[in-house]
Amino acid sequence: MSYEAVVSVGRSIAEVKEVLQSLTPQEWAMPSGCAGWAVRDLVAHMSSNYAEIIQPSPPPEEPLDLPAEAMMDLLVDARAEWTNQQVLDEYLQFCDAALAAFAAMQDEPAASAVIPLADLGEYPTHQLADAFAFDHYCHLRVDLLAPHGPIERSVSAADDELVGPAVGWMLTGLPKMQPNLHNDLHGAIRLNLTGPGGGTWDIARVGDGIVVSSPSGDADCTVTSSAHDFVIWGTARASWRDMCAVDGDAAIAAAFLDALNII
């Protein structure tokens, strides 16, 4: 279960609080590292997600059949007229309660209950903590803070406790988030992630799907990068070509990595 993710989320929340409360009006308006969003939009995304955990919006009269990213955009758009302080206040109001909710989700029977996450697939409830560990790690350390983001602030060095759950979520979601991704996988890929949160996994096509597993046997190619950089290129925030080394069949790696876009 995702106890480690709860710890990761808690640490990220503490750092996000500190950074957000230090932002100047000019910094709130800067473009973030998340394409199309200013810093305030990025924070509104994080705060609205926590608000939805604790005080879910009433269901619409007609069910919304939208991709997860479009649904997130709707929540951000609903806060477009809010002041920076209102966005900050919402984050501070709900973040700790959401963390407590993630901890409670680790206990049965809730832990094993399956929940749909729009077009991202279905997951046991306890893994929602993993999703938010990834979300906060990525938004704080990639989209908000330099060098990829606009804000110059110091936070703790990334370690296994922070990065591991984020990478774990990405690898869990990889076979589910892009249903047709198997069409771009033409051989076995060994993913070797170095540094904090790192490890080695095999990515292979099985029928009309993809399986991520521990290394076994030979692979057609090996793709190596740091685990932190995987958060960046695995979400298509930057080109994998600038961050990865490929050994073996480069064409197999390129076809798959060009199509990969973990949300």
For residues 127-142, give the mean pLDDT.
97
Q: Are residues 184 and 255 in the same domain?
A: yes
Q: Are residues 141 and 25 in the same domain?
A: yes
Q: What is the CATH number of the domain that holds 78?
A: 1.20.120.450
pLDDT at 176: 94
Q: Are residues 85 and 211 in the same domain?
A: no
Residue 26 placed within a domain: yes
Q: Are residues 18 and 105 in the same domain?
A: yes
Q: Are residues 12 and 127 in the same domain?
A: yes
Residue 164 placed within a domain: no
Q: Are residues 243 and 122 in the same domain?
A: no
pLDDT at 59 over 80: no
Q: Are residues 26 and 148 in the same domain?
A: yes
**How many domains is the chain partitioned into structurally?**
2
For residues 104-125, give the mean pLDDT.
93
pLDDT at 105 over 70: yes
Q: Are residues 98 and 27 in the same domain?
A: yes
Q: Are 201 and 171 in contact (CB under 8 A)?
A: yes
pLDDT at 62: 65
pLDDT at 215 over 80: yes
* Phi, psi values for residue 200, rounded to 5°: -130, 135
pLDDT at 108 over 80: yes
pLDDT at 70: 87
Q: Are residues 106 and 187 in the same domain?
A: no
Q: Are residues 129 and 211 in the same domain?
A: no
Residue 241 placed within a domain: yes
Beta bridge partners of 151: 145
Global confidence as pTM: 0.94
**Residue recorded with tokens 């309660």:** 97
Q: Are residues 23 and 57 in the same domain?
A: yes
Amino acid at 143: D
Residue 182 placed within a domain: yes
Query: Average pLDDT of the chain?
Result: 95
Q: What is the CATH number of the domain that holds 251?
A: 3.30.1050.10
For residues 193-215, give the mean pLDDT.
97
Q: How confident is the model at residue 64 (pLDDT cuts 50, 70, 90)?
A: low
Torsion of CA 233, 238, 242, 246, to 10 degrees: 30
pLDDT at 251 over 90: yes
Q: Are residues 181 and 149 in the same domain?
A: no
Residue 169, C-beta contacts closer than 8 angstroms, at least 6 positions apart: 5, 127, 130, 131, 133, 134
Residue 231 placed within a domain: yes
- Residue span of the structural domain in which 22 resides: 3-156
Q: How confident is the model at residue 109 (pLDDT cuts 50, 70, 90)?
A: very high
Burial of 57 (0-12, 13-18, 19+ CB in 10 A): exposed
